[in-house]
Structure 1
Amino acid sequence: MFIQKNFLLIVLALAVVFAFAMRATIFQQQTTSTPPPTNGIATNFADYWFANKAEVNTYRLEQADYGVLNPGDVVMVFATVNFRTDKQVELDTALSVTDKDKAIPVLKTNIIKKFTTGLHDHSLLTSVFTPINTGDSRSGPFANTLKVSTTSQDWLGHTYLQLNYRNSSYRVQGNSYFEHEVDEDYTVSKATLEDELWNRIRLNPEALPRGETQLIPGTMTARLRHARLDPLPAKLKIDNYEGVLYPGKFLKSYTIEYPTDDRTLIIIFEGQFPHKIVGWEETYKTRDNLLTTRAVLQKSITTDYWNHNAPADSTLRKTLLLNQ
């Protein structure tokens, strides 16, 4: 009789007990659990950088060259790729069982800079490949950026410059229309690359080098100035950015000063993840005029741009405020 009179109450009580046993109650909303970090990478980092998309940023540019400031624009693309450590090239084929340990994840940066000087055009592109510390033993030995390549084209001609990390040093190879750069092949001692600092900011700005150290200057600026790539003494520091020129909140400034070269680079980035780079300033002499190149972020999106290559996809360029 008791069971019959209290059947509904008993069923409800059993349902509540069952729900608690399943770690959920009838009063809780169902949520999607976040997968645990893999290979030692923080979850938000993995979700952002391993989503099979690239981060594409566009900047308004004023470029110092020929003793004046020239108008232009910059596209900066960040993406994670697999990189062959033996051939030092981005992996695009399946590896055999014996070669599976020869590929590691890297953060790749492509910086595409275009500007005009009076009548003629200039175009430069730098690619940087920096290993990501995934906690995987394969990436352990590769603390240094493995490869940097830079090309430049203008109405005078074109150049190519490449650095490869081998045997605890960087091999520098270059070709150019410019006579004293026509065929370059030399080695410089191991040092932090200025070109890799963009990646280091994105990976972990807390680990950026600070104080006095040796840096190998940026390849893009070296080509514009026709300068050899030798390590130079540098002073580096991080501060809170207090200005109003660059967009974003909780901004930081990373200053790289070369006392012996009269050159200073300041990179402005977001202090919070994903640490987007919102602009930079680079000051040096050009034709005896001390000028400051400046780039200011216009737009940032994440996209699988390699899948948007049909004529109809050209409308997507408008979202990046690119010149048509």
Structure 2
Amino acid sequence: MKQTITKNFLLIVLALAVVFAFAMKATVFQNPTATPVPSATTPPEFASYWFSGKAELNSYRLEQAQYGALNPGEAVLVFVTEDFRTDKQVKSETPASRDKSIPILKTNISKKFVTGVYDYSLFTSVFTPINNMVFPNTLKVSTSGQEWCGHSYLQLNYRNNGYQIDGKSYFENEAEEEYTVGKAMLEDELWNRIRLNPAQLPVGDVQMIPGTMAARLRHKRLEPLLAKTKLDDYEGVLYPGKFLKSYTVQYPTDDRTLIIVFEGQFPHKIVGWEETYNSNDNLLTSRAVLKKTIQSDYWNHNAPADSTLRTELMKQ
């Protein structure tokens, strides 16, 4: 018996490891992340769309202002619900952390564009609780930027009735940043707020913390600024869709204006946006126009054969 165990020791250890992994739900054959569950007060239409186990993926044709010129590129907006830990402010991935978590709507915003010979890649994630009555503030925003000069990272966490801001950057004046600002509406959360309930968007003069992508591109420190906001019917012809609305954010002290255009009817799909500011003394308007929307559990489609889904999403 002892000789048999010794001879097959590695095989026995491997078998025990596999059994233990299945018991702990830790194998690659199992998905440890459960689909978030809506609360009893969630409207059926909202629950059916946002808690179906799929994300909404949107591709956009992009022109991005940088270095005094408009640069061609592409943008992607991803919206998905997930369980989010309120203590560590990260995604809940184990059953043990479910009681520390709440359902949130997450925005992932990706922008890629080329400036001359080299390219830029920007990515922002925004985590907004769905239950606005209990958790009225967005809990976290993170933004990373990569370009051929270097890269940067910026993160906001809601703590102690304000936002803790931490940043790292290749650029000298942004190399090490750690400061706090008072509680205010985040420009970055507007995408989630539109999808959750555009009727609750603030209108008039409000204090707003500008978007993190714009801050990094323009090398601006984040702080609440006076913003003049309004919600209108969209009267133009640049964006696709019916019954469109536009939400405008104008910063008088920063000479910058953001307009987000979206469908007035549920699920309030965002069909484009434009952003106007000075770039190298040229007043330019960046613009993104919707190309395609699909719903997919994209995290389960990462094999080479799944590239057909990306082709469908990104096609003109």
TM-score normalized by the length of structure 2? 0.87
Deviation at 1:317, TM superposition (A): 1.3
**Offset, 1:100:** 4.4
Per-residue CA shift, 1:139-187, capped at 9, x if unaligned?
7542100000000000000100000000100000000000010000000
Shift of 1:101: 3.3
Task: Identify the residue that residue 80 of structure 1 maps to in structure 2.
Answer: 81
* In structure 1, distance between residues paired with 2:239 and 2:271: 6
Contact 2:291–2:315 (8 Å) recurs in 1: no
In the other structure, the counterpart of 1:121 is 119
Aligned partner letter, 1:76:
L
* Residues 1:194 and 2:187 are matched in the alignment: yes
The match for 1:27 is: none
Check conservation: 2:77, 2:107, Cα contact below 8 A.
yes
**1:1-324 correspondence to structure 2 within 5 Å:** 38-95=39-96, 100-133=98-131, 140-321=133-314
One-letter amino acid of the structure 2 residue matched with residue 50 of structure 1: F
2-side partners of 1:217 and 1:321: how far apart?
Answer: 28
Which contiguous aligned blocks of 4+ residues in structure 1 show a shift greater than 3 angstroms? none
CA distance in 2, matches of 1:299, 1:270: 14
SS of equivalent to 1:40? coil
Larger radius of gyration: 1
RMSD, aligned α-carbons: 1.2
| Code of the aligned partner of 2:84 | F
- The percent identity for this pair of structures is 70
Contact 2:138 2:189 in 1 (8 A): yes
Tell me the secondary structure at the aligned position of residue 222 of structure 1. Answer: helix
Measured against aligned partners, the alpha-carbon deviations of 1:223-265 in whole angstroms (never above 9, x if no partner) come to: 0001000000001101100111100000000000000000000
AA aligned to 2:299 is W
2-side partners of 1:235 and 1:308: how far apart? Answer: 42
Distance 1:237 1:116, change over 3 A: same
Aligned-partner Cα distance in 2 for 1:300–1:237: 26
**SS in structure 2 opposite 1:77?**
strand
Structure 1 counterpart of 2:12: none
SS in structure 1 of the partner of residue 95 of structure 2: coil
Tell me by how many angstroms 1:307 deviates: 0.8
Matches of 1:116 and 1:224 in 2, distance apart?
A: 14
Three-state SS of the structure 1 residue aligned to 2:310 is: helix
TM-score by length of 1: 0.84
Contact 2:292-2:315 within 8 A present in 1 as well? no
Deviation larger for 197-206 or 140-149: 140-149
Shift of 1:315: 1.4
SS at match of 2:241: coil
Mapped contact 2:92–2:98 kept (Cα < 8 A): no
Separation in 2, partners of 1:227, 1:317: 34
Displacement after TM superposition at 1:112 (Å): 0.6
The 1-side partners of 2:314 and 2:87 are apart by: 39
Length, aligned pairs only: 279
Distance 1:100 1:94 in 2: 5
TM-fit CA distance, 1:38: 4.8
Q: Distance in 2 between matches of 1:92 and 1:292?
A: 40
Per-residue deviation, 1:93: 1.3
What SS class does the counterpart of residue 90 from structure 1 fall into? coil
Unaligned 5+ segments in structure 1 are: 1-36, 134-138
Counterparts in 2 of 1:100 and 1:308: CA distance versus 1, 3 Å: closer
Contact 2:63/2:288 (8 A) holds in 1? yes
User: Cα deviation per residue 1:82-122 (whole Å; 9 max; x = unaligned)?
Assistant: 00000000111112xxx543100000000010000010010
- DSSP 3-state at the match of 2:59: strand
Tell me the distance in 2 between the aligned counterparts of 1:53 and 1:321. Answer: 18
- Could you tell me how far apart the structure 1 residues matched to 2:92 and 2:172 are? 35
Bigger shift: 85-94 or 56-65?
85-94
